[in-house]
Amino acid sequence: MQIGTARLAVIIWVAYFGLSGAGLGLKILPLSLVANAVYFVLAIVLFQYLRSADPLIALALLPLAALGSLIQSIGMIQGDRGIQLVALVFVGLFLATLGYLVLRAGIAPPPIGYALVAAGLASCTLLIPQLPAPLIALVLGFGALAEGAFALWLLVKG
């Protein structure tokens, strides 16, 4: 696994979080859409970084991220929160797959890999009808924390 690829992933993750936060906070739809595209670029870099752990499973990162980003963008354009929640299921499956690859590759402490898997699987619960808003926020926060922990690990040790 290449140190340069790990650093590139961190840079892209920071760009994604920044663009996404700015797009949502400032309510600038094009910025949010660019953030979704950046997330797919991140998936490509993570695929490159983790493919030696399990090439076939690593390949699954790409369609999961593509579907999550595309569906999220459609939901944002249409202003449909339900569609956006469907997108988060694909993002969740992406995170679970990422966590598995992190565990398999041994590139980060196991708790980070397990947190990614758990956060990803928790995201799949977002389709439960009438899920209380605090629970949705908890699931989304857990996912962001797991991703942030992995990005931080890559920055420090990657």
Q: What is the pLDDT of residues 104-132, one digit of tens each?
A: 999 999 999 999 999 999 999 999 989 99
**Do 28 and 75 meet the contact criterion of CB atoms below 8 Å apart?**
no
Q: What is the pLDDT of residues 47-94, one digit of tens each?
A: 999 999 999 999 999 999 999 999 999 999 999 999 999 999 999 999
Domain ranges of the chain: 3-157
Against a cut of 0.85, is the pTM above it? yes
Locate tokens 């140190």: which residue? 3
Please determine, for residue 1, whether its predicted confidence score (pLDDT) is greater than 60: no
Residues 6+ apart with CB under 8 A from 152: none
pLDDT of residue 157: 87
127: part of which helix (H) or strand (E)? Answer: none
Cα–Cα distance measured from residue 40 to residue 15, given in angstroms and rounded to the nearest whole number: 12
pLDDT of residue 158: 74
Helices and strands: H and E segment counts in the chain: 6, 0
Cα–Cα distance measured from residue 17 to residue 23, given in angstroms and rounded to the nearest whole number: 10
- Centre a 10 Å sphere on the Cβ of residue 17 and count the other Cβ atoms it contains: 17
Provide mean pLDDT across the span 28-49: 97
Amino acid at the residue 90: F
